Copies of this chain bind each other. A is one copy, B any other.
Amino acid sequence: MSSNPSHTLSFHDLKRHNNDRDCWIAVHSKIYDITNYLDSHPGGSSIILRYAGSDATAAYDEIHAPGIIEEALPPECYRGLLDQAEVVNLPPEQKEDMETIEKTTGQSTSTETYTKPELFKLISTQDFVDVARNTLTPKAWAFYSSAATDLVTHHWNSDVYRRIMLRPRVMRNVAKAETRRSILGCPSSAPFFISPAAMARLAHPDGELALARGCASEGLIQVISNNASYPLASVIQAGCTNQPFFFQLYVNAERAKTTQLLHKARELGVKAIFVTVDAHVPGKREADERIAAENVSSAISGAVASNDRKGGGMGRLMGQYIDKTLSWDDIPWIQQTSRLPVVVKGIQSAADAKRAVEYGVQGIVLSNHGGRSLDTAQPSMLTLLELHRICPEIFHRCEVYVDGGVTRGTDILKALSLGATAVGIGRPFLYSLCYGQEGVEHLSQILKDELETSMRLAGITDVGQAGPGLVNTRDVDYLVPGSEEHDWIRWRPKAKM
């Protein structure tokens, strides 16, 4: 066979290459031999093997942007065009088979009675959550909304915001309410950014492009996910001239790939690298796993499936390439390779915050990955309070961001009052993509309006005036660790027995 683009292959030809030693797939009528690529697929090989020897277009489109397969594969993988006539003429049972595959990839069937509201009727972040729950495919909803095991940290993240009280000051001329903030030297119209979140295409065909365009019109900064549905270059191009972007990095077990990626990011004008350090192994997101288990169960026999006990949810699949050996000593390499400001995302203790500063990072994101990694990890706002108690000097040595659980303007104001430069907002913006770019803009405006109102009612006219006097954290203070180790435990290293 040749890589002649006009070469036409029959469905029968395709079907013979259906295993991990000889794997072809068709995407948009083009047939590729991906046998050698299987191990490099960021999402793992097993997800591809489900489509070995068949047309994978539907599954591909759900997650990937059109051009990305050609970017990832060398030209010699191309095998020819799938004979369309033949597709049409498939015998009935075979067509049914394809429909089944489509179904098992998660098309919801229970959304028929739901009428998606007009965008202008949405007035809060929660409204976007509700729309997403009702309109996304079960698979997309599970992937976006799921968190680790019992969702304890996920709920704690927002609970802490709710338990922190505001102490408004009255009768201060608040004609003005300035929300602009400089983040790593880049201007932002508000003290929040879009947290990196993978696979935005699951929510809208424009995926990360819509986020970029929304940020352009709203003056916000997007942290582009390493696992974006679109190539980094496409996302950046979607924005406007001089629009600042940050890039989120998972260090690849094959370091050369990371080197390449960092060089590219720099070339494309990215302003900073956010290294994610709290998801080097995939958290156990059971909603995501269950969807995967359902698919497996309808696709293969129980006997085979029973060997797989680690789950196959999208979260697990996508994390397979991440380097588990990453350590602090890799920071200088990232700094030197990228020649960009480096931010460590996923700090969960004062001890690590201090460590990060010692390594000269420009910022840290206090984050537990939205509760998606290690369940019962302490909520990120508690870590912010821990910094105040254990190492308040941190706030003078780098920028501190916090993410997880932010849904209200008051949440943003509280984080700022406790020293955060900005907060990251992830899932809500993914949900806003149910309305594409307009949804992103509408949500941004809601959050800015809420923040402005909160500032005025709290008695400040600029985000820079927020300080701890504006908040009453008594309801959570007792939860804040007083030292790196427990202070009341007289602990001694245990002798071997």
Chain A residues within 8 Å of B, Cβ to Cβ = 118-121, 123-124, 149-150, 152, 156, 161-162, 164-175, 182, 185, 277-278, 280-284, 286, 289-290, 293-294, 296-297, 302, 305-311, 324-328, 330-331, 344, 346-349, 351-352, 355, 368, 373-378, 382, 388-389, 392, 395-396, 399, 408, 410, 414, 419, 421, 442, 445-446, 449-450, 453-454, 456-458, 467-469, 471-475, 477-481, 484-486, 488-495, 497
Q: Verify B392–A492 contact, CB threshold 8 A.
A: yes
Is B293 touching A121 in the complex (CB atoms < 8 A)? yes
Q: Smallest CB–CB gap between A138 and chain B, Å?
A: 16
Chain B residues, CB < 8 A from A297: 118, 120-121
User: Chain B contacts of A330 at CB under 8 A?
Assistant: 171
Shortest beta-carbon distance, A245 to chain B, in Å?
A: 19
A352 to chain B, nearest CB (A): 5
Chain B residue contacts of A306, Cβ below 8 A: 118-120, 442
Closest 3 CB pairs of A and B: A374-B457, A120-B306, A165-B378
Give Cα distance in the complex from A136 to B374, angstroms.
33
Are A170 and B468 touching (Cβ within 8 A)? no
Neighbour of A408 across the interface among B150, B161, B165, B481, CB < 8 A: B150
Smallest CB separation, A435 vs chain B (Å) = 10
User: Which of B373, B449, B450, B489 contacts A457 (CB under 8 A)?
Assistant: B373
Residues of B within 8 A of A396 (CB): 492, 494-495
Return A355 CB to nearest CB of chain B, in Å.
8
Rounded to whole angstroms, the CA-CA distance of A278 and B453 in the bound complex is 12
Residues of B close to A495: CB separation below 8 A: 396
**Is A469's CB under 8 angstroms from B484's CB?**
yes
Q: Are A281 and B388 in contact (CB under 8 A)?
A: no
List chain B residues, Cβ under 8 A from A286. Answer: 123-124
Enumerate chain B residues within 8 angstroms of A348, measured Cβ to Cβ: 167-170
Chain B residue nearest to A418 (CB atoms) is B489
Whether the pair B377, A450 counts as a contact (CB closer than 8 A) is: no
Whether A376 and B162, one on each chain, are in contact in the complex, defined by CB atoms closer than 8 angstroms, is yes
Q: How far is the CA of A389 from the CA of B489 in the complex (A)?
A: 6
Known: A123-B293, A165-B382, A174-B280. 15 other contacts (CB 8 A): A118-B297, A118-B305, A120-B307, A120-B308, A161-B376, A168-B348, A169-B352, A171-B330, A282-B453, A309-B449, A373-B457, A374-B458, A389-B488, A467-B485, A467-B493
Task: Give Cα distance in the complex from A481 to B475, angstroms.
Answer: 10
Q: Is the CB of B149 within 8 A of A392?
A: no
Point out the residues of chain B lying under 8 angstroms from A484, CB to CB. Answer: 469
CB distance from A184 to the nearest CB of B (A): 8
- B120 x A453 contact (CB < 8 A): no
* Minimum CB–CB distance for A68 against chain B, Å: 29
Pick the contact of A352: B170, B326, B347 (CB < 8 A): B170
Using A118-B302, A121-B297, A479-B474 as known contacts, say yes or no to A351 and B485 having CB atoms under 8 A apart.
no
| Chain B residues with CB under 8 A of A173 | 324-327
Contact A171 B352 (CB under 8 A): yes
Q: Given A171-B277, A306-B118, A453-B281, do A166 and B378 touch, yes or no (CB 8 Å)? A: yes
Q: Known contacts A123-B289, A375-B408, A445-B309: does B456 contact A281 (CB below 8 Å)?
A: yes
Please tell me if the beta carbons of A491 and B467 are within 8 angstroms of each other in the complex: yes
Closest chain B residue to A497, Cβ basis: B399
**Residue of A175, A289, A410, A419 ringed by the most chain B CB atoms within 10 A:** A410
